[in-house]
Amino acid sequence: MAMLADNLQSKNTSKFSNIPSFAYRNENRSISYNKRSEYIGDLDSLPEPAWDMINISDYYADHATWYNPKKLNFNACIPILTSRSCPFSCNFCACYATMGRKFRKRSPKKVVDEIQMLCYCPECSTHLGEPIKRYKRYIEDIPSVQPEVTEHTVYGYWCSTCKKVVYAKVADALPNAMLGLRLVVFTAWLHYLIGISVNNIVKMLCIFANFKVSPGGLTQAWKNLAFTLESIYNDIGKKVSNAAVLNADETGWRINGITHWLWCFASRKLCYYVIDRSRSSPVLKEVFGTIFNGILICDFWGAYNKLSSP
Tens of pLDDT, residue by residue over 141-152, are 888 888 989 999
**For residue 3, what pLDDT band results from cuts at 50, 70 and 90?**
confident
Could you report the per-residue pLDDT of 241-251, keeping only the tens digit for each? 999 999 999 99
The pLDDT of residue 238 is 93
Identify the burial level of 292 via C-beta atoms within 10 angstroms of its C-beta, where 0-12 means exposed, 13-18 middle and 19 or more buried.
Answer: buried
User: How many CB atoms are located within 10 Å of the residue 27 CB?
Assistant: 8
Is residue 282 predicted with pLDDT exceeding 70?
yes
Segment 164-208, tens digit of pLDDT: 999 988 889 998 899 999 999 999 999 988 989 999 999 999 998
Q: What is the pLDDT of residue 132?
A: 79
User: CA-CA distance, 290 to 295, in Å (whole number)?
Assistant: 14
pLDDT band at 122 (very low <50, low <70, confident <90, very high): low
Identify whether the C-beta of residue 293 lies closer than 8 Å to the C-beta of residue 276. no
Over residues 13-68, the pLDDT tens digits come to 667 777 888 888 877 888 888 887 788 889 999 988 887 787 777 777 777 788 88
210-251 confidence digits (pLDDT tens): 899 999 999 999 999 999 999 999 999 999 999 999 999 999
In this prediction, what percent of the chain has a pLDDT beyond 90?
45
**Burial tier of 250 (Cβ tally within 10 Å: 0-12, 13-18, 19+):** buried
| Closest by CA position to 308, among listed 293, 300, 299 | 293
Query: What are phi and psi for residue 91, nearest 5 degrees?
Result: -70, -15
Model confidence at 104: pLDDT above 70: yes
Tell me, what's the pLDDT at 257?
86
What are phi and psi for residue 227, nearest 5 degrees?
-65, -40
Could you tell me which residue, 73 or 273, shows the higher pLDDT? 273
Query: What is the Cα–Cα distance from 220 to 171, expressed in whole angstroms?
Result: 19
Rounded to the nearest 5 degrees, what angle is found at the Cα of 49, between the Cα atoms of 44 and 51? 140
Strand pairing of 245-255 and 258-266?
A: antiparallel
Q: Chain-wide mean pLDDT for the chain?
A: 86
DSSP string, 131-158: -----------PPP-----------EEE
CA–CA distances in Å: residue 265 to residues 34, 166, 251 = 85, 40, 12
